[in-house]
A and B are shown apart, each in its own frame.
Chain A
Amino acid sequence: MKAFKKVFISIMLVSALLSSAACGGAKDSGQKDAPSADTKSESTEAAAPESSESSAEGSADGKNESSAGDGAINIAVSSDIVTMDVHKTSNDYIVPMNVFDTLFEVVLNSDGSTSIEKSLVEDYSVSDDGLVYSITLKDGIVFSDGTPLSSEDVKFTFERMLTLPDSEQTDYGASIQGAKELMDGSAKELSGIKVEDDTHLTITLSEPFSGFLAQLATPSTIILSKSLVTEAGDDFGILPEKTIGSGPYIVSSWERGSGLTLEYNPLYWGPEPSVKKVNIKVMDASSMDMAFQKGDLDILDCQRIDSALVESTYKTKYADSIVSVNRLGINYLILNEKVEPFSDPKVRKAVQMAIDRQAILDSIYNGDGKLEDGIYPSGCLYYSDANQGWLKYDPEASKALLSEAGYADGFDFEISLDSGSDDSVKNVIQIIAQNLKDVGINAEIKSYDHASWLEARNSGDMPSFMAAWTLDYNDPDNVIYTFFGSKDNTVIRSNNYSDEATIKRVAAARGIVDPKEREAEYAALEKKLVQEDAVWVPMFSLKHLYVKGDRVESFVPHWAGWSDIYFKGVTLK
């Protein structure tokens, strides 16, 4: 009997431990995915354990370093990275962005537009059929340990991306000729990349894909060193001294769970950045707020802290220090065609007209954003404001459409909420439900934990949800193909769009070589999907706000509004 009691008590203790872990989990994740529920850059997750507790370097109390003049800045993130190996993550881009280089880079122009510029590439040309990219690399580029960067490294990078068993980045090499054969094991090499000499190579695609150049400008396609990565083996991306890139910074230390330190790479081929050292610390929201106000942080990401606090403190006390960038992302509402009565375009159209998006933007996001009436967010390649006005808030017309469709008395449906999303998302959905009630539609908000929510959405059965999509690379294909590019994609995004002809057109649009023709096709597709078929309820795009500290002269946020910053774009006073 006594033994039983012990067993029972032990189990109770363990379950207590577990339940407190679960509760803490819900609370924590509620704070971090702000304000868009599920964009890539925000959802960096979870902390790794600390491997050593050595040096007290980079401590957040700010007493021991970063006094002006030494070129060091302090940055806070809400959770530690998991790996520095870009092929094994789709979240952690801070190291790939700052320690490695891509062939091309995206430049954010002062008018908010973006352009693709050459980075590691000296010169390039694309064949008339859009299939062959002939690339000349810059001469004399070396990795931070002195190893030269050559065409072989480019080939190696894409082969590794495609063949690593747990690669999360295969999409970025999938359009290259021979990718399929390499992935299924029938080929040993990636036939689409031909190395001519150390600085010359050609990349051949299996079919034309105009977004390819934009893909070559994202951190997903940073160039790794063949010899260094092969030599490092499993330590690549795990040990700082084995994770060597050609970018402006090197990783000088990574204390698991508490943060990392980057330092200037003296062998960097580009201009010397103003910031020589970056201390990146993992903090929770309230710590960030305290540390920034105390001067121990140099850049504060407003998305990581309470939005009420941003409004009450930062927009007043620090009004002159706020830096904002338009997020190349769009918040949208999905209505699942498979779920009645959403199979009727009139009903979907009625929902489009019933939501007062301006009121939502003003009340929840303090007006820090812009209404979007299409699929591609403002700032996206080929974006045109010709779509403005497609959606008008008009409850009366909405009611009329509903009765035309035979739902004069409205209907019931469910909006699924990811409980891990930021409070603002929850509030937006509340207002949407209220708006819909005004036209007689009864929307029930049902909350799921993040994993269950993803599961339901991926299965194609989720009736309706609101989320945001932030661009990975600046091409309309990145958003439209994700949602409407294939039957699988329509299922995994739970829209179940049924018009197969249009789905085929979306897939085919990737391959249009002539820019004018391509632009026209994307505009036509947007019109078809949003205005005619109403399968997508565009909401708005938001601004991403940062506050810079006293020592920071200026900085350029990520062009798409990701939370990760290119530190070479920061200048100190």
Chain B
Amino acid sequence: MSAFIRRCVGVLLVLLGVMLLIFIVLRIIPGNPAAVLLSEHANKETIERLTASMNLDKALPEQFLLYLSGALRGDLGQSYYLKRPVLDLVLEAFPFTVKLTIFSAAFAWIFGIAVGVISAVYQNRLPDYLFRGISLLGVSVPVFMVALFLQYLFYFKFSLLPLLYDGSAVSMILPAIALGWNSAGSVARLTRSSLIEQNNELYLDTAKAKGLTAKAALLKHGLKNAMLPVITMLALQLSSMLSGAVITESVFGIAGIGKLALSAVETRDMPLLQGTVLFSAFIISLGNIISDLINTCIDPRLRV
């Protein structure tokens, strides 16, 4: 239990560090958010008036303390650009990102593991070469390329799926594949190599000696053991998907955290960017704690 409390304190420190880091980084970048907000058609007085209304004319430490004290009360400030509370915006956007992440993770795992297993079973035969090629494509083609290609193929050429996300489950298929594609590739490669490694294990010989065919032995006994490193990897991939979502969400018009962060960067919307980063840091830390807890449950050795 004390370990758990230590972890929670650690998370708080991480969040504080993230806050300070992002606060400083955002202030080092030149550019006045008020001027960006007003864009081209503004005069000096309007810029000055808006700068003051955003508290940007105050000293930096004062700005940080204002921000910190707000954050402790659950108030992440008001978005400069969208003019709404940051927390509301983040909480509204989060379900979309979660949905996208879950769909892509599901695709990556199912597709990746299936391909990996087939590759391993038909090691160095035609299906293996074919699928190894596919998974190599998976890890090497960037997300936006995959997205464009999918849109071209499924929307433009064959009119099978909608171009953009529109709230329906069907329209989530393309974004999920686009975002899950890279992960699927690495999952497939790891599954394959991990499964092939099991081939040399003695317990498989035992299974074969008991009368199982090589294929059945591998799938029945080998797969379970081979999955351990894969599961670890899946957990890690969830957070990388969170960042890949920035591109996918933009291409498919999904109003998630990534798109929110992107718009915040473009418009120098500091409170919103701080909010999205802080929130992501919080989610990732939380994910780490949970995965640690799960690991401890599964593997008693870790409790020592």
Contact = CB atoms under 8 A, between A and B. Distances in A.
Interface of A: 3, 6-7, 9-11, 13-14, 16-18, 20-22, 24-25, 28-29, 38-40, 43, 45-51, 53-56, 58-61, 63, 79, 82-83, 88, 90-91, 165-166, 168, 170-171, 238, 255-258, 281-284, 286-287, 290-291, 293-294, 296, 449-452, 454-456, 458, 467, 469, 472, 482, 488-489, 491-492
A491 B239 CA distance: 47
Contact of A90 (B21, B39, B240): B39
B67 to A, nearest CB: 17
20 contacts: A6-B288, A7-B14, A7-B17, A10-B288, A14-B18, A17-B246, A22-B265, A46-B264, A46-B267, A47-B259, A55-B167, A59-B166, A83-B82, A90-B41, A166-B53, A166-B83, A170-B46, A255-B167, A258-B253, A482-B43
Contacts of B243: 13, 16-17, 20-21
Given A47-B260, A455-B30, 13 more contacts: A7-B13, A7-B14, A24-B247, A24-B250, A59-B164, A83-B82, A90-B38, A257-B255, A451-B30, A454-B35, A482-B41, A492-B44, A492-B47
Contacts of A282: 253
Given A40-B41, A50-B255, A291 B31 contact: no
Nearest to B269: A46
B266 A46 contact: yes
B31 A454 contact: yes
Contact of B253 (A13, A170, A257): A257
A427 B259 CA distance: 29
Given A40-B40, A452-B29, A455-B31, A257 B259 contact: yes
Nearest to B166: A59
Nearest to B152: A290
B277 interface: yes
Interface residues of B, number: 83
B157 to A, nearest CB: 10
B242 interface: yes
Nearest to B249: A257
Nearest to B36: A451
Given A40-B40, A287-B151, A49 B281 contact: no
Contacts of A255: 167, 255
A194 to B, nearest CB: 27
Interface in B114-153: 148, 151-152
B166 to A, nearest CB: 4
Interface centre among A16, A48, A469 (most CB of B within 10 A): A48
What 9 A-B pairs are tightest by C-beta distance, nearest first? A451-B31, A257-B255, A46-B263, A50-B255, A59-B166, A61-B162, A49-B93, A25-B265, A17-B243
Contact of B40 (A21, A39, A294): A39
Nearest to A14: B281
Contacts of A59: 162, 164, 166-168, 171
A364 B64 CA distance: 47
A494 to B, nearest CB: 13
Given A290-B155, A452-B29, A458-B35, A171 B162 contact: no
B9 to A, nearest CB: 9
A7 B288 CA distance: 10
Contact of A165 (B53, B163, B246): B53
B10 interface: yes
A293 B151 CA distance: 13
Contact of B164 (A38, A83, A283): A283
Nearest to A53: B167
B258 interface: yes
A451 B33 contact: yes
Contact of A458 (B47, B152, B159, B239): B47
A40 B22 CA distance: 30
A258 B166 contact: yes
A544 to B, nearest CB: 17
A282 B83 CA distance: 20
Nearest to A487: B44
B205 interface: no
Contact of A61 (B7, B10, B148, B155): B155
A38 B47 contact: no
Contact of B14 (A11, A170, A281, A293): A11
Contacts of B268: 451
B46 A451 contact: no
Nearest to B167: A53
A467 to B, nearest CB: 8
Nearest to B281: A14
Contacts of B267: 45-46
Interface string B234-250: 00000110111011001
A106 B79 CA distance: 34
Interface centre among B41, B53, B159, B243 (most CB of A within 10 A): B41
A491 B53 CA distance: 23
B14 A50 contact: no
B290 to A, nearest CB: 13
B266 A20 contact: no
A6 B10 CA distance: 9
Contacts of B68: none
A79 B263 CA distance: 9
B89 A49 contact: yes
Contacts of B40: 38-40, 43, 467, 469
